[in-house]
Chain A
Amino acid sequence: MMAWYKRAGVSVALLGVCIVLELTFHLIVPDTAYRNLIQLALVNVVVALSLNVINGMAGQFSIGHAGFIGVGAYTAAIIASNIHKSLGERAETFQNSFLVMPPAIIAAALVAGAFGFLVGLPSLRLKGDYLAIVTLGFAEIFRLVIMTSPPGVETGGIRATIGQLGGPQGYSGPDRYGVAQYAGPFWLFGGVIVATIIAWRLKFCGWGRALRALREDEIAAAAVGVDPTRYKVTSFVIAAMGAGVAGAMWACMRDGNPSVQPDQFNFALSFDAITMVILGGSGSVSGAIMGGLFVTITVKMIEQLQRLDVIEAWKVQHPDFDLNALRMVVYAVVLIILMIMRPAGVFGENEVTRFRKREPAQAKA
């Protein structure tokens, strides 16, 4: 347990780091493409950290995380863009981001959390594959409802309201000038830091231990007073809120995509999130961070390798060869090799600081 002044000191230091990064990030990484990649990796770290709460810590299996990210992204995009408009559409400055991002992030977390509660309820009666199908169903319903409700087709009723979200073209602000992009490095790095601290504390407090107990044996957990219902639903809500925040970071990311499109939140995104968690090690906070970074960067690196001169020349010689498809093959091979070498993920359930063996809590001598 840290003393309060130490904690305050660390908080101020972290805040300082985020502010410095906000001001200097474009100098440290001058290339926009690389900057975007790093920003995307940060968003993915929050995605992995949040999914780790359900799939890793609680031992449930959700394959619909994209749905929660999408809910958060749309919510944040709408809030941020409307506040931006009411501010008079001035430049998206760092100072103004404090007026825009807090409400956008909080709203995204709350709305996504509400959906997490709804999807979490069936988890009381469903297990394993069946629960997975419910979560996938939610994500697909969310995506398809928006996809099939183009704007301007209906003039009244619920479809007209959903049509305001832009249908398949996506949402790009109230006047279609694009989503306000206030989430600079300060908010992205800050989001990762806050998410990491929350995930860490959840894992090592009584709540995390109760979840582990629940995962090991539900009846035994109930027998010691861990209410399965409450803990499962709470883990869903917390994970969904985290995904909502990740969605908000994504939607409002500086230099990011100016519109939020339903197809971004497809099954592939949920699957990527699962890969990040499993690759890093289910239940490990360090693993989720590593997985988020690794998956984002590997996919991008393979893309970059394709542009090498050797490969380009080879592509000219063999025009039938679809290198784009090969990208996914290479990615899969990397994953398979990793899983053979470390079947429980890179970290297992351990953390960077506790890599060797779980330290048993010390008894009073």
Chain B
Amino acid sequence: MKTRHPTRPAPSTPIGKPLLTIDDLKVSYGGIRALKGVSIEVKRGEIVAMIGANGAGKTTTLKTIVRLLPIVEGKITYDGRDLGTMSVEEVVEAGISLVPEGRAIFGGLTVRENLELGAFNHKRRAEMSETIDDVVALFPRIGERMKQEAGTLSGGEQQMLAIGRALMARPALLLLDEPSLGIAPKLVQQIFEAIAKVAESGTTIVLVEQNTRLALKYAKRAYVLRTGEIAMTGDTKTLAANEEIKAAYLGG
């Protein structure tokens, strides 16, 4: 993505310093504790991956960041501000966008309407169409299907649309929840290349992924979650060489 438009609002955190800090986060679903004290640090400009098996708490962490789940204990700080006191809207306004799991697009709306909703909080029309141009430059397939109902797109295209919609808010921090889930390998490749481009343009990315190989390839650092706790963390190169990771997540 060309950096014609810097992210908005631009974070005050300098590049390379922690943009998002999660400190000892505890979250419960009903009576079940999904997160038992997770601490994560994401520096501005990097791609950080969160890997782990089903039920490890990856999606829970992302949902808690965007205020869809209440914080039981702990603190989430974004760009020096406490996210705990913010509403869903304020989080988007502050520059965080989530691409939810399972291509959660608005199936009954057209592709264009989906994208426009992504910029729901910013209503300046001219800017919106420029941002749409950027998204189309990133995903040309989306540009060809603007008037189509989003529900008629293929799985990969829906995921592209979901990412495009999140980019419409021009986030400084993009949270991706399993972008490769159930998508044809060829399209997965395209999607990850697009994600890399988005990162190059200066957007910080948190990538939740079950496809560990992909995650370790594209991210700089990674956190390994296991049953609501951080089991391991480090450089992706180091993790990829780790015997335990190889055995558990990379298939030996």
Contacts and interface: CB of A to CB of B under 8 A. Distances in A.
B158 to A, nearest CB: 11
Contacts of A228: 88
A226 interface: yes
A225 B112 contact: no
Given A206-B120, A220-B100, A224-B118, A363 B106 contact: no
A360 B166 contact: no
Contact of A225 (B113, B120, B146): B120
A217 interface: yes
Interface string B83-99: 00001110111000111
A364 interface: yes
A108 B29 CA distance: 41
B107 A223 contact: no
Contacts of A219: 63, 68, 100, 104
B97 A223 contact: yes
A206 B116 CA distance: 10
Given A222-B88, A225-B88, A363-B132, A217 B125 contact: no
A358 interface: yes
A89 interface: no
A361 B104 contact: no
B9 interface: no
B123 interface: yes
Contacts of B162: 220
Given A212-B106, A216-B107, A364-B129, A223 B98 contact: yes
A226 B120 contact: yes
B147 interface: yes
Contacts of A248: none
A358 B104 contact: no
Interface residues of B, number: 39
Interface residues of A, number: 23
A259 to B, nearest CB: 45
A210 B104 contact: no
B121 interface: yes
A179 interface: no
A225 B165 CA distance: 11
Interface in B116-141: 116-118, 120-121, 123, 125-126, 129, 132
A210 B120 CA distance: 8
Nearest to B91: A225
Contacts of B165: 220, 224
Given A213-B117, A224-B92, A227-B89, A360 B147 contact: yes
A159 interface: no
Contacts of B118: 224
Interface string A215-248: 0110111111111101000000000000000000
A230 B90 CA distance: 13
Nearest to B98: A223
A35 interface: no
B102 to A, nearest CB: 9
Interface string A145-164: 00000000000000000000
A58 to B, nearest CB: 14
A212 B166 CA distance: 17
A348 B110 CA distance: 16
Contact of B110 (A210, A225, A230, A360): A360
Contact of A223 (B66, B87, B116, B123): B66
A364 to B, nearest CB: 4
A209 interface: yes
B95 to A, nearest CB: 11
Interface in B66-93: 66, 68, 87-89, 91-93
Given A209-B117, A210-B120, A364-B125, A223 B104 contact: yes
Contacts of A358: 110
A223 B166 contact: yes
A360 B117 contact: no
A216 B108 contact: yes
Contact of A216 (B68, B89, B106, B126): B106
A363 B100 CA distance: 26
B126 A364 contact: yes
Given A209-B113, A358-B110, A364-B129, A224 B105 contact: no
Shortest 6 CB-CB contacts between residues of A and residues of B: A225-B92, A220-B104, A216-B106, A223-B98, A364-B129, A227-B88
19 contacts: A206-B120, A206-B123, A209-B120, A213-B117, A216-B106, A216-B107, A216-B109, A219-B63, A220-B165, A222-B66, A224-B165, A224-B166, A226-B117, A360-B113, A361-B112, A361-B116, A363-B146, A364-B125, A364-B129
Given A223-B92, A225-B89, A363-B146, 9 more contacts: A212-B108, A219-B100, A222-B66, A223-B166, A225-B92, A230-B87, A358-B110, A360-B112, A363-B129
